[in-house]
Structure 1
C-alpha cells in the first residue's frame, strides 16, 4: 500500500497497544503514512512520548496521540476504547504489540514466577484489549484486531515453556474473538476481523548496528512487520478473520 493516504487506512482510527518499542515506533509511522489517526498506548510514558513524536515528525499532517493506559485493568482499557471512539467518532483497529520474554536454562528449571509475569503481559492484555475494542471494531465496518505472535506457540521448546504457552493462549483467545465476528456477520460474512501475524523474532536498525556480522536468519524487520500490519486492512475481513499470517517459515 502506498503512503498517499487513499487506501483503506485513510481516515481510519487505529489504537496501538505497546507502542513504545521499536516495532511500535515503526507501526505508528506506517499507519500515519497511510493516513490513519493513530492512538498509541504504552506502560512507559517516556518511550511512548518518543514514539509518538517520531511518528508526528515523520508525517507532519498526521494525528498521532499517546495515552498511558494500564492494560492490566479491564475498566481502564474499556475507558480507553470508549474515549477513542467518542473523540474520533470511530475505532477501526487495535494492534497488540505488548510483549515480554522470560526463558529458563531447562524445562524443569522453569521459574513459575516467569509464567505469572508472562501471563499478565501476553494473555491478560489481549483479553482486556479484545473485550474493550470488540464492539467498536464491529460497529465501524472495517475493524481489525491484530495480534503479533511467535512461531514457538506452534513448536514449543524446553527452555521456553512459559513464553510459548503464553503465546499459544493469546492466539486461542484471538481466534475466539474471530469466531465472535464470524457469528455476528452471519451469511454476509464478518464485518470485522481478528488476525494473527506470526514471527520468529524482530530485528531493527540498532540491533544490526550492534551486531553488523549477524545474519538474523528468519527474523522480521520491524518495518516489514509494520507493512504487514497495515496490509491487514487491504484484504477483506472474510479473508483475514481467524487467520494466521506467517512472516517467517512455518515450523
Structure 2
C-alpha cells in the first residue's frame, strides 16, 4: 500500500490528515490516548510496543473509536537498532513516507535517598529512556527529513530540569534523552540551511501523567500539576499545527516550569 507523496497529505486546517505517524510505546494509557487523537485527526498510525497483547488492545480501541482509520501495530524491539531501522523502512515502503515518530517509551525507578540509589536502576533506565531514543531517532531521522513536515516528539519530565535526590537515575536519564533529541533538532536545523528546518524534533515536558483509571482508584487525590493523557495527546497533535522552525529544538511545557 502506498498513500502517495508527502505533498498529498494534510492541509493548514488539518495538518495530520493523511499523515503517517509512528508511535513507540503505544500500549500504555498515554499511547492509547495518542493513537485515538492521531486517528481522529485522520492520520495513518503505526504503533509499536514490547507487549503484544497490550498493543493489540490499544490498536483495536483506536480503530473502534474511529471507524475507517488506518491503525496498525508492530511488536518491535527498540533496543535493537537494526530492528528499529527495519521498522522505519517498512513503514516508509508500505505507506510512501513517514511524517512523525512519537516516543512514549518510558519506565521509572526511584530510591529512598540519594546514597541508596541502586545503580542497577540506571542500567534499566538507560535502556528504556536513552537507548530507545537513540535508536528511534537514528532510524527515523532521514525519513522525517524526506517527509517535508516530519516531527520527532519526545515526552520528557520536569525532573530533568530540577533533579531530586531520590530520582537521580530517572532524572539523569530524562536529561540525557532531552540532550539527544536536541542534537537531532540541530541536525534538522543544519539540513534546512537558509530555508530553516523542514523537519522538527520537539520535547513535551510533563510532571506526571494521570488518566481516568487513576482517578477512579484515588477519587480524593488532586494530582496537582499532572497532565491528563488526553491533554498530552492533544499537545502531541499540536506539534504538527506549528511550523518546523517554531517547534524544532523547543521544550513545550505542559506543567509549570521549575
TM-score category (smaller protein): over 0.9
> For 1:69 and 1:136, how far apart are their aligned partners in 2?
18
* 1:168 and 2:182 are equivalent in the alignment: no
**Contact in 2 for aligned 1:174/1:195 (Cα 8 Å):** yes
* SS of aligned partner of 2:163: coil
What does residue 238 of structure 1 align with?
A: 245
* 1:72 and 2:79 are equivalent in the alignment: yes
> For 1:88 and 1:198, how far apart are their aligned partners in 2?
30
1:119 to 126, 146, 154: 126
What does residue 129 of structure 1 align with?
A: 136
Deviation at 1:6, TM superposition (A): 5.5
What does residue 200 of structure 2 align with?
A: 193
> For 1:46 and 1:152, how far apart are their aligned partners in 2?
31
> For 1:183 and 1:245, how far apart are their aligned partners in 2?
21
**Contact in 1 for aligned 2:12/2:241 (Cα 8 Å):** no
1:38-57 → structure 2 map (5 Å cutoff): 38-57=45-64
**Contact in 2 for aligned 1:107/1:161 (Cα 8 Å):** yes
1:51-91 Cα deviation digits (max 9, x unpaired):
00000000001000000000000000000000000000000
* SS of aligned partner of 1:233: helix
> For 1:110 and 1:87, how far apart are their aligned partners in 2?
45
* 1:90 and 2:116 are equivalent in the alignment: no
What does residue 224 of structure 1 align with?
A: 231
Name the Cα RMSD after superposition: 1.1
Deviation at 1:5, TM superposition (A): 11
* 1:178 and 2:185 are equivalent in the alignment: yes
> For 2:112 and 2:50, how far apart are their aligned partners in 1?
29
- Name stretches of at least 5 consecutive residues in structure 2 with no aligned partner: 1-10
> For 1:61 and 1:223, how far apart are their aligned partners in 2?
21
1:78-137 Cα deviation digits (max 9, x unpaired):
000000000000000000000000000100000000000000000000000000000000
2:115 to 108, 119, 124: 108
- Name stretches of at least 5 consecutive residues in structure 1 with no aligned partner: none
1:134-153 → structure 2 map (5 Å cutoff): 134-153=141-160
* SS of aligned partner of 1:187: helix
Q: How many residues align?
A: 248
> For 1:140 and 1:43, how far apart are their aligned partners in 2?
27
* SS of aligned partner of 1:232: helix
**TM-score where L is the length of structure 2:** 0.95
**TM-score where L is the length of structure 1:** 0.98
* 1:203 and 2:210 are equivalent in the alignment: yes
**Contact in 2 for aligned 1:106/1:158 (Cα 8 Å):** yes
Query: After the TM superposition, which parts of structure 1 deviate over 6 Å for at least 4 consecutive aligned residues?
Result: none
